[in-house]
Amino acid sequence: MDLNGVTSVITLGKADALPAWRTGDAWLAGGTWLFSEPQPGLRRLIDVAGLDWPAHALSEAGLTLAATCTIAQLDRLELPPTWIAAPLVGRCCRALLGSFKIWNRATVGGNLCMALPAGPMIALTAALDGVCTILAPGGPERRLAVADFVLGPQRTALRPGEILRSIALPAAALSRRTAFRRISLSPNGRSGALLIGTLDRSGAFDLTVTASTPRPVRIAFPAPPGAEALRGAIAAAIPEAGWYDDVHGAPDWRRHVTGLLAEEIRQELAR
Amino acid sequence: MRLTVNGQAQEAAARPGQCLRTLLRELGWFGVKKGCDAGDCGACTVHLDGEPVHSCLLPAFRAQGRAVTTIEGLAGPCPPGGGPPTHVHPMQDAFLNAQGFQCGFCTPGMIMTAAVLDQGQRRDLGTALKGNLCRCTGYRAIRDAVAGAGDAEAPQTCHAPVGRDVRAPASLGVVSGTAPYTLDVAMPGVLHLKVLRSPHAHARIAAIDRAAALAVPGVVAVYTHADVPQRRFSTGRHENPADDAPDTLILDSIVRFVGQRVAAVLAESEAAAEAGVAALVVTYDVRPALLDPDAALRPDAPLVHDPADRASPPPGADAPPLSAHPNLAAEAHGAIGDVEAGFAQAHLVHEAEYVSQRVQHAHLETHGALGWRDAEGRLVVRSSTQVPFLTRDALCALFDLDRAGVRVLCGRVGGGFGGKQEMLTEDLVALAVLRTGRPVRWELTRQEQFTATTTRHPMRVRVKMGAKADGTLTAIQLTVLSDTGAYANHAGGVLHHGCNECIAAYTCPNKRVDGVSVYTNTLPAGAFRGYGLSQTIFAVESALDELARGLGFDPFAMRRRNAVRPGDPMVATSLEPHDVQYGSYGLDQCLDLAQAALAEDSGAPPPGPDWRVGEGMAMAMIDTIPPRGHFAHAHLRLDAEGYALAIGTAEFGNGTSTVHTQIAAQALSTTPDRIRLIQADTDAVAHDTGAYGSTGTVVAGQANFRAATALAQALTQAAAKRMEVDPEACRLSGDVVETPAGPVPLSTLAPLEARAEADGSPRSVAFNVQAFRVAVHPRTGEVRILASIQAVDAGVVINPMQCRGQVEGGVAQALGAALYEDYRFDGAGGVVTQTFRNYHIPACADVPDTRVLFADTYDRVGPLGAKSMSESPYNPVAPALANAIRDATGARLTATPFAPDRIYRQVMAAVAERERSAT
């Protein structure tokens, strides 16, 4: 929609430094959220598309995604065969509420910065031990685990003026076995619960719960747990009041289906 | 900046926060639609360097130097503002052949998306089209189009067109994006209107300081309650304005729901109007709000319309009617026989309360109007309405204008579903035009559509039904609480209609209805597809299913035993004579057709081995026309250019335009392309009550058929007279009258004309039977539809392809209400669900194909044997689904929507109970 309160746009070029931040500023990447809701406080857009950050970089250490990498670019990415977690990428892209047209514009970083409970890029990068790199105009960069970056619905660890630069996924995480489960109130609806389990070669089992909780919850087990232990660990990690409540699922149902999906993941990875 | 649009190099100045959609429309590319303005509906889809994007989400400045293709240019380069193209893209052609649209507002975006899908995407349209919403079709016709199926007939080749799948006359305009909808016109010098809306559910406006707003550059005027006629009206429009309580002012000093208009700002641009709205300073005296309809009639309830707020009526004027409680908006009471005696005779009684929630029409074109003064000084309003004539009359009454001084007309209307049987924008636009003399435009946002228009009436229906061991009903009792919200538009009509056909459909000596419709401080409910019946039929048909189960009958047999048959009086709770007849009767066929189809078609397999599978059905009866008069005029004229048919009724995706050309062509022995349609314009004919109550075919079509028959007769007589032969020996044939003395070209008989009317009486009845096979996940509460069948009795089906589309669309819209849609409010009466991503209407993946079966009947009341078929397919869907879920799991669901998070506990408990009793 038209953001009629916006009075200026700064378009950054490749070599430009980040401008000094003012109240009423917003970083513009894909724009698919910014332009989807009234933004009454917004006065200036800082367009980062021209910074031209390479969408992704592969190395033996792992995969680094620029914050501006689009969902479509991520989905097209060919990963080395040893990174057996790769199928998660496509499943998380498909978990996005927006269609393939949105994929052409929406960015991985934007999905993290929106910090919606159902953000599938949050689920993907949290489950794969993602680490965010954060820039500030004129300041040093800092790093933060994805799990610590997303604080709650539409709340992140970004301070005013900071920008998410990239997300690094370590090769070790990409080499784990994974299992993915998702449920929503309608077949292609916004996720009510999105769970990812990973199993590494040492037998360590990690469960990442998203969408049913306000922010990602990671539960780690040194070895695959039994059904009872898994249930207990979820109950311990997520208090009664810790289940998310909005139109995309009542909290009691989210708790209930999280338990069902977690158990399916446990069984799948135990095979 | 420079950009290329549809091959044209264009210069444009993009504003900093402007989206590409607005820029393209400003350049005259009106095929790019504004549906949701939030990236959810896809109606604005264009190609940016070949890549499909939602242009409402794309910053306009990013189009600099890029090539944009809109629907107008999909088939090749073209200039803006041109008419339909001479050749079309293959996907546009596919949508023509499959008639993959109804109102067509989503169609440009749908085609722009479908045109770029690869093979893989076409195989999974549920995923590929999840960013494109259609509210009319139910998606089957769209899936057919993408698959290249469909063979609608071109009107040029369609002789004797009644009963044929003729293409809609606007087809080419719709698929090419050149059919102009309400606001698809450039109007130089137009002023933009925006309103400030109440943040409070109930408050008195103590003061409005407009100084800062008037100081905003571009702001031309601010209107408040001090500036409007102190004349009360109802936004609800009916033939008789007295049907709806006059409780509304254009701008009121008291606001009664969050979202009510507080003040209007008029400015040279939308941005300036928005800034003006933001600059208004309003002081409110907040009052206690009534949010719970259950509390409305308590003695201590806050009064939504406090009589103390009304000035006493001037001498000679009517005092407001006395009622038991000021929060009582309408009531319905009636009884035949003795229900208590009936229940005493019953072998089995079922009693439960069934709750139907508030849902939105969600037509993709929001409400909007454009007003101006024409060359003669008349007030002209081009509006997205189903009722142009009644709106004209309402404007005349409000502003003391003569009918001759006001013209209301429609462009193509982007969906209605009853939501546009209201005057929600035209009053303020008219006021602004009258005050400024300048053209004025007001387009509601999608957010306003959700927070400040109208909805279906939320209802609680307590039903008690008893039956003997042989299945015969002994008594039916309904106790209804309807929530009409802050204003009483349609409160009485919906309540009375809702309590009528649902029980008149059954022969039973003892019936009783006690219904009330109450005011609350929530957004007003209004006319909605089904007009009260979907809510009551959910209760009655669920109850009948319980009785059938309890007595060991199959649900089809239960209906056969109890449903009315020709000769039975159709009685709800009054034995007064009425004008509803069995003009035809196809319920028996519908029951047989649906039952046979369900038995022979096992549908899709369940998604997994542990899903529970079940079947269910429900039926619905509807009067084909609203009661107490529904009028239409038709004027058919043969002139040098051929036939011109003027008709008042509006086209909003209901397909009546096609039907009108077919009816006239049939009567005039020609092809539908020879009928030029002039419609939905108060200048076109003397009067038309409007396109509501499913009357487009049966009332307006009747007037049309009478006029066409009269003109046909006049033509043969004129030809006979000229050739001095017996008129009985002459007949029309295409462009000539064949006579024994040789053909007489019609062009030599022009001009000749005929006029006719229809008054909507007598009325007939139409029937719908819906059947489902469903799978229910026993632990998550997910529901999947494996088979969907609807058998309908529409009399003679004038256009089967279109009628099928109406049924499919009704099923899809009803599935939305049955499975997903719900308004959520915050604790203070504010609407939380303000976008399509938070108010989920069915997308392609959510709607299965429905097998549509037609009964073979001929109605002696309707034109050419036809009956109505537009609202009624909606009505039996929720109970049929509930009955199938009951069959699958044992759970009797009594509140829609049946969303997984609301039903899983009940489903789990019922499944566990069943397993316990099985062991």
Annotate A135-158 with DSSP letters as a single string. Answer: E-TTS--EEEEHHHHEEETTEESP
Domain ranges of chain A: 56-172, 177-270
Pairing of strands B67-69, B2-5: parallel
Helix axes B877-889, B900-918, angle to 10 degrees: 40
Contact B795, B784 (CB under 8 A): no
Q: Do B19 and A8 touch (CB under 8 A)?
A: no
pLDDT over 70 at B49, yes or no: yes
Residues of chain A neighbouring B843 (CB-CB closer than 8 A): 186, 188
Dist CA B636 CA B89 (whole Å): 35
Minimum-distance CB partner of B56 among A1, A98, A257: A1
Does A70 touch chain B if contact means CB atoms closer than 8 Å? no
> Contacts of residue A256 in chain B, CB cutoff 8 Å?
779-780, 904
- Band of pLDDT at residue A138, cut at 50, 70 and 90: confident
| B527's tokens | 């006319």
Instruction: Give the span between the Cα atoms of A87 and A84, in whole angstroms.
Output: 7
A4 touches chain B (CB under 8 A): yes
Per-residue pLDDT for B314 more than 70? no
- Facing residue for A253 by CB, picked from B15, B22, B901: B901
pLDDT band at B324 (very low <50, low <70, confident <90, very high): confident
Distance from CA of A229 to the nearest CA of B (A): 21
Three-state DSSP at B34 gives coil
| SS3 label, residue B535 | helix
Q: Which pLDDT score, from 0 to 100, does residue B599 have?
A: 95
- In chain B, which residues have their Cβ closer than 8 Å to the Cβ of A100? 52, 121, 127-128, 131
Interface contact flag, B42 A36, Cβ < 8 Å: no
pLDDT of B322 higher than 80: no
Interface probe for B, chosen from A7, A68, A100 (most Cβ of B below 10 Å), is A100
Q: Which of A35, A190, A250 sits opposite B57 (nearest CB)?
A: A35
Cα of A122 to nearest chain B Cα, Å: 19
Question: What would the pLDDT profile of B660-674 be if each residue is shown by its tens digit?
Answer: 999 999 999 999 999
Query: What pLDDT does B323 receive?
Result: 65
* 8 Å CB contact of A31 and B56: no
Give CA–CA dist A255/A251, Å, rounded.
6
Report chain B's C-alpha Rg in angstroms.
Answer: 27
Interface membership of A28 toward B (CB under 8 Å):
yes
* Residue the block writes with tokens 């695959």: A224
Nearest to B846 among A31, A186, A247 (CB): A186
- Name the architecture of domain A177-270: 2-Layer Sandwich (3.30)
* Residue contact B271–A4, C-beta within 8 A: yes
Sort out which chain B residues have CB atoms less than 8 A from A188's CB and list them: 126-127, 130, 843, 845-846
pLDDT class for B747, splitting at 50, 70, 90?
very high
In sequence order, which residues have a C-beta less than 8 Å from that of residue A196 and are 6 or more positions away? Answer: A88, A123, A124, A127, A178, A179, A180, A181, A207, A208, A210, A265
> Which residues in chain A are contacts of B275 at CB distance < 8 A?
4-5
Backbone angles phi, psi at B577, to 5 degrees: -65, 150
A97 lies within 8 A of chain B by CB = yes
3-state secondary structure of B67: strand
Percent of chain B with pLDDT over 70: 99
**B313 pLDDT above the threshold of 80:** no
pLDDT per residue as tens digits for the range A6-24: 999 999 998 888 899 999 9
Name the A residues in 211-230 with CB < 8 Å from any B CB.
none
* Span A213-252, pLDDT tens digits: 999 999 999 999 999 999 999 999 999 999 999 999 999 9
Task: pLDDT band for B321, please (50, 70, 90 cuts).
Answer: low
- B905 CB neighbours in chain A (<8 A) are 252
Q: State the pLDDT at residue B311.
A: 73
pTM, two decimal places: 0.97
* B19 closest CB neighbour out of A2, A42, A99: A2
Q: Write out chain B residues lying below 8 Å of A257, CB-based.
A: 780, 900
Nearest to A9 among B16, B45, B845 (CB): B16
**ipTM of the predicted structure?**
0.97
Strand partners, B408: B381
Cβ distance A104 to B51 less than 8 Å, yes or no, reads yes
> Is 3.30.2000.10 the CATH number for A56-172?
no
For the segment B797-812, the average pLDDT, to the nearest whole number, is 97
Is there a contact between A102 and B54 if contact means CB atoms under 8 Å apart? yes
Who among B17, B128, B819 is closest to A100 (CB)? B128
Do the Cβ atoms of B16 and A7 come closer than 8 Å?
A: yes
Q: Where are the alpha helices (DSSP H) in chain A?
A: 71-76, 87-94, 100-103, 108-114, 120-127, 146-149, 171-174, 227-237, 251-270
The sign of the torsion formed by the CA atoms of B269, B273, B274, B279 equals: positive
Task: Give the nearest chain B residue to A182 (CA atoms).
Answer: B780
CB contact under 8 A, A99 and B837: no
Between strands A131-135 and A142-145, the pairing is antiparallel
- The answer to whether the Cβ–Cβ distance between B900 and A254 falls below 8 Å is no
State the number of CA atoms in the 13 A half-sphere of B204 facing the CB. Answer: 9
Give the span between the Cα atoms of B557 and B542, in whole angstroms. 15
The residue with tokens 């293709």 is B69
pLDDT surpasses 90 at B318: no
- Does any CB of chain B come closer than 8 Å to the CB of residue A50? no
The answer to whether B22 and B12 have CB atoms below 8 angstroms apart is: no
Burial B272-289 (b: 16+ CB within 10 A, else e): bbbbbbbbbebebeebeb
Q: Which helix (H) or strand (E) holds B515?
A: strand B511-519
Lowest mean pLDDT among B26-30, B696-700, B825-829, B836-840: B696-700
Residue B501 · residue B508 · CB < 8 Å: no
Are B846 and A3 within 8 A, CB to CB?
no
- Predicted pLDDT at A271: 83
| Mean per-residue pLDDT, A83-89 | 97
Question: On the CB side of B455, how many CA atoms lie within 13 Å of its CA?
Answer: 29
pLDDT attached to residue B575: 87
Shortest CB distance from A188 goes to which of B19, B130, B832?
B130
**What pLDDT does residue B654 have?**
87
C-alpha B886/C-alpha B440 separation (Å) is 53
Contacts of A189 in chain B (CB under 8 A): 820, 840
- Taking residues B481-504, what's their average pLDDT? 97
Please tell me the distance in Å from B286's CA to the nearest CA on chain A: 25
Closest residue in chain A to residue B901, using alpha carbons only: A253
Comparing alpha-carbon positions, the chain B residue that sits nearest to A3 is B17
CB half-sphere exposure, B316, CA atoms < 13 A: 0
Residue-level pLDDT at B316: 66
According to the model, what pLDDT value does residue B603 have?
Answer: 82
Strands B348-356 and B328-336: unpaired
Q: What is the mean pLDDT of chain A?
A: 96
User: Distance (Å, rounded) from C-alpha B643 to C-alpha B187?
Assistant: 31
Question: pLDDT exceeding 90 applies to what percent of chain B?
Answer: 95
Say if the Cβ atoms of B59 and A45 lie within 8 Å.
yes
B40, amino acid identity: D
Encode pLDDT of B197-233 as tens digits: 999 999 999 999 999 999 999 999 999 999 999 999 9
Q: Which among A8, A190, A192 has the least Cβ separation from residue B16?
A: A8
Distance (Å) from the C-alpha of residue A178 to the closest C-alpha of chain B? 22
User: A186 and B57 in contact by Cβ < 8 A?
Assistant: no
Mutate to test the interface with B, among A32, A35, A91, A195 (most CBs of B within 10 A): A35
Query: How many angstroms separate the CA of residue B608 from the nearest CA in chain A?
Result: 14
How far is it, in rounded angstroms, from Cα B13 to Cα B889? 61
Question: Are A4 and B270 an interchain contact pair (Cβ–Cβ within 8 Å)?
Answer: yes
Please give the interface size between A and B, counted as residue pairs whose CB atoms are below 8 Å apart: 157
pLDDT band, residue B81 (cuts 50/70/90): confident
pLDDT, chain B, mean: 96
Mean pLDDT calculated for residue range A120-145: 95
